[in-house]
Structure formats: structure tokens, C-alpha cells
Structure 1
Amino acid sequence: MTLETIELQTRETPRFSIVVLHGLGADGNDFVPVCQALDLRAVMARGGLRFVLPSAPEIPVTINNGMRMRAWYDIRHGDLSQREDADGLRVSQALIEDLIAREEREHGIPPERVVLMGFSQGCAMTLMTGLRYPKRLAGLVGLSGYLPLLGTTEAERGAANVATPIFLAHGSGDGVVVPARAQASLAELRRLGHDVEWHEYPMAHEVSMEEIQDLQAWLVKTLTAAAGAPGAPDAPTAD
């Protein structure tokens, strides 16, 4: 299976990719406005940038009475730590890994210049995939989500992304992914030694302008580091 994608590109030959994974019931269009709101001109000065926004497959979702909708995995229980859909998570992990590999194969953008980012279920898939990916990624962004299969992460994570920077953000009033679940994920990631920048905002299960501004600053810092040492020459790009 190949995921349907929306692709936004600033130059003909980009150097960086940000792969953005939507939440339950949404699709690749969901985060186009957020991508457009990010001011990443400082990154673009070092080379073009691609946003890749895939749409998850349509599957029955137990918690929604078996209704088919776009979802990265099934939600079987309101308590997200109970009866996790491990098989579904691993199927989507493979699809996302293929998407990352396709960026290098078709666009010449290696994993170390790819940021994987997601909201809610997309956040879960970002952490699930990013920590297990066999090659170094530029960074991981998790918004309003959690770390799935928390108990097996330590055993299953790979060495390549132990030092990869992680941006996590959550709303203090989130009633979908309760803050305690996000805090438990943060605690486990820090226990395992991951470099996590944590932000909490007075909001529900959503994205705020303050969050976008903080994310923007983190992306500029992270992708500039991925480009190489300050002053290093960039690859030629075409407008």
C-alpha cells in the first residue's frame, strides 16, 4: 500500500522534508494551514523545504461503533493505554517508514534532514516510528498525543535516534488525550535519556498560535543543525 499525500514544496530541489501525520478521522489536508502558518524562511535560506502530508488508510474504529474512517490504528478503549492495537500500529509504522525512505529515493533528501511530526494519533505514530527507525532523523514533533506501546519502547527502540531532538506539546485542558497520559510519555522518554523539549498550553485538543510560534523556533534550530555547522556551504538550489 502507498499512502496518498499532499506535498507542498518551496523550491525545485529541496534539502529538507517535514512529514506531518494527522489525527483520527482527519486527512492530509488537516495540517496544511499550520504548515502555511510556520515562518521557516531561515531554513529555506539554506535550501528548499518540502511538507509531506499523508492520509491514513480508512479502517473500522471500535470506539466509534466500528465506523470506517481514516485512522493510523484502531482505538478500542477510552483509556488509551488499554487494549492497544499493536498490529495496527506496526502496519502504519511500516507505511510511514516507506514514506521516509521515499523522500531519499525520489527527492534526494536523506533521513537526517527529515523531521517527522504528528498530532494526536499522528503524534503516537511519530514517536512509534521515529524511535524505531534504523537511520538518524533530524527531529520528532509530537502534538497533543502520547507514546504508544510505552512498555515495549525501551526494548524496541533503535540506537540511531537515541539523541534525536524531540518537541512535545500538549493542552492542559485536553479531554481527548488527557494530560496525565502525555506526562507519562514525557517521563518515560526522559527516563530513557531522550532530548525532549516540553511545552504545555492552556488549551483543549487543538493547536494554538503560541504553540505554532514555539514549534517554529524549534524547527529553525533543529533543521539548521541538520544542515551542518554554521557557515557550511549549502547544496545549490533552484527557485
Structure 2
Amino acid sequence: MLDGPRLAPLAGGKANALVVLVHGYGSNGDDLISLAQMIQPALPTVAFVAPNATSRIPNMANAHQWWPIDTFSPAERAAGAQMAAPALDDFLTSELDRHGLSEDRLLLVGFSQGTMMSLHVGLRRSAPIAGIIGISGMLVAPETLEAEIRSRPPVLLIHGTADNVVPFRSLELASKALTAAGVPVETHVSPGVAHSVGQDGLSAAAAFAVRVLA
């Protein structure tokens, strides 16, 4: 079962929404919860959780992965996301139950491999969640989306033009595939930003979160 660091609502009391942050390859929930702390003031009644992926990377301290990356091929990404999806999907369901919240009060925020997971899982849940924010990532197996998509929550894709890990063109490829599948998509380009999220991206993410969780 997945678990990781949590932030209770700044305003105190019961959360009226939940943000789940999904970390990237070689990272962990502690790393992503720091991102939550930056946008938490804009969402004072919201709870945050950043689960650690169940698979650890050998010989690396506190480094987790949703699936091993050996070739970074499309086939490897598709198989990896499909393998890891049930654990994240079950975690989302249990967290909503834990807080007594409905699907439309859930926002997924992914970074890199976590974006791949968030898009893969979020679009295949039967009831639409509030939204998905994907940072510095890509859409896995776009060719299967039309057949497998079950809901169409709004999506915000954020990507830096200087990303040397996940190519910047992944933003346009994902946006086109999602639009073709009927998913409402917004994009935010961060000029000169590498494989990270800049202050402009954080501001865009916070504004999107406030809007979809209003």
C-alpha cells in the first residue's frame, strides 16, 4: 500500500478537497510535499499527500520509481505505467474514503514520471476527478487513450523549454492527443526552465488548482 508525507488544511478542520502529488523517477514524497507547501496558502481548506512509489531504485538512498527506466522506450513506458497504475488508483480511492470526499474534489499533480502516472490513472477512472496538473512529463501510450479513456477532467500541462530530460516537444504531443480524445487541455510554457518547475509554473498551477477546486 502506498503512503507518504501529508499536509493538513492550513485553515484547520476537515478538508474540503484533496491534492495528491505524484513524484518522478528517483524522487520521493518528501521532495514533492515541498511543492505542496508552496501552493498551500492559495488552498487553505485542502489536504495534501505525496505517496512514495512502492518500488525503490537499488543503491540509491530514498529513491523511488513507479517503474524501472532502462531504455525510455514507448513500449517500456506503456508497460511500466500499466503495471504501476493499480497501486496509485487504489491509493486515490482509499484517500478519498479517508477524507470523506467525492471524486470531483480530487486534484492530481504529477512531475515527470509522476505526470505520466497521473495522466494514465486519472483519465481511466470512471468518475471524473477535479483535474490533473502535469509538470515536465509526457502522455504514455497515446495510441490507446481513445479506447481506454473513461473520464475527461481538465488538464494543465506545464513544461520548461530547456528541459534536457523529457523533451519540451512532449508538451505539444500530449496536448494534441488529449484534445483529440476530448480532454480539455491548457498549457503553460516556462521559457528557459530545465527539468523542474519555475515560479511562473507554480503560479499557473496554483491558479488552475484554485479554479478547479472552487
**Length-normalised TM-score, structure 2:** 0.91
- In structure 2, which of residues 53, 57, 60 is the aligned counterpart of residue 56 of structure 1? 53
Counterpart of 1:38?
39
Shift of 1:58: 2.4
% identical aligned pairs: 30
Letter in 2 for 1:49: V
Question: Contact 1:76/1:85 (CA < 8 Å) preserved in 2?
Answer: no
- In structure 1, which of residues 207, 211, 220 is the aligned counterpart of residue 201 of structure 2? 211
SS at match of 2:48: strand
Counterpart of 1:8?
7
Report Cα offsets for 1:73-102 as digits up to 9, x if no partner.
122324x43x32434312321111111111
Question: Contact 2:161/2:189 (CA < 8 Å) preserved in 1?
Answer: yes
Shift of 1:217: 0.9
Structure of greater relative contact order (alpha carbons < 8 Å, 6+ residues apart): 1
SS at match of 2:76: coil
Counterpart CA distance in 1 for 2:31 and 2:56 is 18
Q: Does 1:121 align with 2:81?
A: no
Question: Contact 1:28/1:53 (CA < 8 Å) preserved in 2?
Answer: yes
Q: Does 1:74 align with 2:71?
A: no
Question: Contact 2:124/2:148 (CA < 8 Å) preserved in 1?
Answer: yes
Q: Does 1:190 align with 2:183?
A: no
Counterpart CA distance in 2 for 1:35 and 1:96 is 18
Counterpart CA distance in 2 for 1:110 and 1:103 is 10
Paired residues, what number?
209
Question: Contact 2:21/2:33 (CA < 8 Å) preserved in 1?
Answer: no
> Unaligned 5+ residue runs, structure 2?
none
Assess, with a 3 A threshold, how the Cα gap between structure 1 residues 166 and 40 changes in structure 2: closer, same or farther: farther
- State the structure with more CA Rg: 1
**Length-normalised TM-score, structure 1:** 0.82
Letter in 1 for 2:36: C
- In structure 2, which of residues 120, 130, 138 is the aligned counterpart of residue 138 of structure 1? 130
SS at match of 2:18: strand
> Unaligned 5+ residue runs, structure 1?
61-65, 225-239
